[in-house]
Structure 1
Amino acid sequence: MQSLSPRVRALGAAGVCLLIAVVAGLAVDGRLDRHWVLRGMTVFLAVCCAALLLADQTRRLRQIVTAVGLAMFGVVIPVTQTVWSKPPEIAFALQVATDAKAAAGKASSSSVSIADVKAAAEARGGAIGSFPTEKSPQVRGADAYPIIVRAKRDQGRPWACVSFTGLDAKVRPC
């Protein structure tokens, strides 16, 4: 690795960071809110660290700091965002969205109704709307999009929000 010039190493590091960011972004289900703004900021910071590595080769401490920044913004954050993007409640909501879309398709409907989402959630053992409690007895998120989807009928949080535009679903934490 010492035979490569610092310029080639910095450009290679920036290229690897961009590749990791694109692969990590595409590895997430398209119906999820992919946090593109946060992903874009981390790629930008990784490229800035690579540019610092390229520009300043004088101080060893600065090289170490930029290398750590490059590793964090170019590898660690994009990979962990991808791994953590689908907790159990989000996975359940994605399954409900798939089932509701299939039910709407079977009924030859051009859009997914709230009844389709409710039936899909109940078929999987879940429910829609917030869980009524003494503190908050009114059920929210059960009659209009975005709909709150709970993985367990008798449990409140954690839950996810599902909304449909026609047959296209969007799932996000709420």
Structure 2
Amino acid sequence: MVSVSSRVQALAVSAFCVLVAVLAGVLVDGRLDRHWILRGMTLALALCCAALLAGDQSRRLRRIIVAVGLAMFGVVFPVTTTTWASPPEIDFALQVASDAAAAAQKASRSAVTIDDVKAAATARGGAVGSPVDARGADAYPLILRANPALGRPWACLSFTGLDAKVRPC
């Protein structure tokens, strides 16, 4: 059996963690808030665990802790945040954001209006409200509901020019 040094193991695990983090980041829509901060923190923690792997491995408990940390921060967290990134209400909000931005561009405007969002949500069978008054909407952020009859689940949508930000409310 060939023995690989702990430094080579740490380098390989670090490269794998960076690859998983980049692939998971590419798979998530960039309009979703806060995902890059979370992804950066989990990557940093995974790299810290890989650095511990390169250090002294004399204790079995330390090896177990490092292995669990690498599995959680290097694989489990990035993969689960990718799969949980777009539940149906978030997917609906992203579709409405795309439709509203396309309507604004078609009208040669540099910003998306609330009426654009209302029209896009209505065309997709949803409803629009605001955090202050769930029935009306006159300012961002807007609450989007995929099913107008249900109060929840919903997603919050805001625009800066043509750039949309979608987040859970």
TM-score by length of 1: 0.90
Q: What residue identity is the alignment partner of 1:86?
A: S
Q: What residue identity is the alignment partner of 1:170?
A: K
Q: 2:157 aligns with which of 154, 158, 162?
A: 162
User: In the aligned structure 2, how far is the partner of 1:68 from the partner of 1:25?
Assistant: 22
Where does structure 1 lack aligned partners over 5 or more consecutive residues? none
Where does structure 2 lack aligned partners over 5 or more consecutive residues? none
Taking the TM superposition and a 5 Å limit, the aligned residue runs for 1:40-55 are 40-55=40-55
The size of the alignment, in residue pairs, is: 169
User: In the aligned structure 1, how far is the partner of 2:88 from the partner of 2:11?
Assistant: 38
Q: 1:139 aligns with which of 111, 134, 146?
A: 134
User: In the aligned structure 2, how far is the partner of 1:141 from the partner of 1:23?
Assistant: 39
**Residue 100 of structure 2 is aligned to residue 100 of structure 1:** yes
Q: What residue identity is the alignment partner of 1:89?
A: E
Task: Describe the SS at the equivalent of 1:149.
Answer: strand
Task: Describe the SS at the equivalent of 2:166.
Answer: strand
TM-score by length of 2: 0.93
Q: Deviations over 1:79-129 (max 9, x none)?
A: 100110000000000000111111112212111100010010011110001
Residue 20 of structure 1 corresponds to 20
User: In the aligned structure 2, how far is the partner of 1:130 from the partner of 1:157?
Assistant: 13
Question: Is the CA contact 2:130–2:138 (under 8 Å) kept in the aligned structure 1?
Answer: no
Task: Describe the SS at the equivalent of 1:85.
Answer: coil
Task: Describe the SS at the equivalent of 1:51.
Answer: helix
User: In the aligned structure 2, how far is the partner of 1:141 from the partner of 1:28?
Assistant: 30
- The percent identity for this pair of structures is 70
| Root-mean-square deviation over aligned CA pairs | 1.8
Residue 69 of structure 2 corresponds to 69
Question: Is the CA contact 1:99–1:120 (under 8 Å) kept in the aligned structure 2?
Answer: yes
Task: Describe the SS at the equivalent of 1:82.
Answer: helix
Question: Is the CA contact 2:130–2:142 (under 8 Å) kept in the aligned structure 1?
Answer: no
User: In the aligned structure 2, how far is the partner of 1:21 from the partner of 1:87?
Assistant: 20
TM-fit CA distance, 1:3:
2.8
